[in-house]
Amino acid sequence: MKIVAILLISLFISQCANSQGKSTNKSLFHPTDKNIQYIGRIEDSDPDHPVFTYPGVQIRTGFTGTSLEMMCKLHSGYFMAEIDGGEPFKVSFLGNTIVKLASGLKDGTHQAIVTYIGEGYETLPEFHGFFVDKGKTLAPATPLPTHKIEFIGNSITCGYGIESKSEAEHYEDKTANFYYTYAARTARNLNAQAVVVARSGIGVYRSYNGPRTGDKVTMNTEYPNTLLYNDKYKWDFSRYTPDLVCINLGTNDTSTIGADSLLLLNGFKKLYHQVRSHYPKAKIVFLCGCMMSGDQLRSAQQALETTTEYAHQQGDSEVYRFDFTPHDGSLGYGGDWHPSMRQHEKMANELTPFLKQLMKW
């Protein structure tokens, strides 16, 4: 009996070790490997444990052999994975640190793209590396797209409730999915890289249901930071220079009790100046989200029109406006009345041709 107990304890310890960062008969390649590419705001002062909080962060690599596993910190949340351009699938690191992305492939060279699809300001996801078959290696990733976009936004851009079955469902991490948003779809349509700076509930001067006089924390305070709600790490804007910046804000500023028109305008002007100071040659497009109607919509549109006119008066002719069609329920709703997956697809189908013509892509 004592021998059996010892064997069971040994097996338990072995299983725990594997779930906490070891994969048997595999070779580990760290995040610093030259064959791993990144897109997005990543804090990598500890290069073996890069951290990120914004949706849309991508990790890309090639690999040889028949299988691929990914290692992250426990509770790093949900990702969408694509192997060799195949159908994307969702994986999570809620209960483990190692997730199988591919197995049983033909022995050869393959490609993987993994996209973070949640909002990680509380869990602080960390990427810890890839495992491949013993004796196999990582390989060069497919070259990154040459076109570059930055999306600045709120819950719409994050994909809040996009997998919910109805508007009656409230926020859950498992029903948010950036991969299917208008932003991600548009980037894929245009074969462009996309860096995302977005947070549910945020505005340019006022968060959802915040005081009419404004909130201390807004997109204007967070935009310079690599990680949301962490001003210790400032983003190095030279790491990514977009050709195009799409700003989709104002829905939360005008929510519930409405916005102070002057404060809203000043918030948009301030964000415009921040963006332009970092990207002097980029085209900037102010988007008007699909969730607004009535006075709320008119208030946001007026602020966006005035900000665009202000930029033109400053001699900046590369600032533009685009309005999405307001949703009416005909394509369903996501959680808490957010755009449904079909609505996001419609938004991408509206935005893509506009940007394609604007950018000559």
User: Residue 9: CB partners within 8 Å, gap ≥ 6?
Assistant: none
Domain that includes residue 159, residue range: 147-359
> Is residue 76 located within the same domain as residue 49?
yes
> Is residue 99 located within the same domain as residue 192?
no
> Is residue 250 located within the same domain as residue 154?
yes
> Is residue 166 located within the same domain as residue 285?
yes
Residue 9 within any structural domain of the chain: no
Residue 4 within any structural domain of the chain: no
Residue at a domain's end among 114, 139, 164: 139
Runs of H (alpha helix) within 191-286: 219-222, 261-278
Give the Cα separation of 65 and 106 in Å (integer): 7
Residue 69 within any structural domain of the chain: yes
Residue at a domain's end among 116, 139, 162: 139
* Average pLDDT for runs of 10 along the chain of length 361: 34 37 80 98 98 98 98 98 98 97 98 98 98 98 98 98 97 97 98 98 98 98 98 98 98 98 98 98 97 97 98 98 97 98 98 98 98
Name the token pair of 48.
């073996």
Residue 14 within any structural domain of the chain: no
| pLDDT tens figures, 262-300 | 999 999 999 999 999 999 999 999 999 899 999 999 999
Residue 7 within any structural domain of the chain: no
Task: At 262, give phi and psi (nearest 5°).
Answer: -70, -40
Residue at a domain's end among 119, 139, 159: 139
| pLDDT tens figures, 111-164 | 999 999 999 999 999 999 999 999 999 999 999 999 999 999 999 999 999 999
pLDDT in the model for residue 22 = 56
Give the Cα separation of 66 and 167 in Å (integer): 42
> Is residue 62 located within the same domain as residue 125?
yes
The number of folded domains in the chain is 2
> Is residue 93 located within the same domain as residue 132?
yes
Beta-sheet pairing, 138-139 with 127-133: unpaired
Answering whether pTM is above 0.75, one says yes
> Is residue 263 located within the same domain as residue 181?
yes
| 257 three-class SS | coil
Residue 211 within any structural domain of the chain: yes
> Is residue 183 located within the same domain as residue 121?
no
CATH code, domain carrying 31: 2.60.120.260
pLDDT in the model for residue 9 = 32
Name the token pair of 49.
């444990």
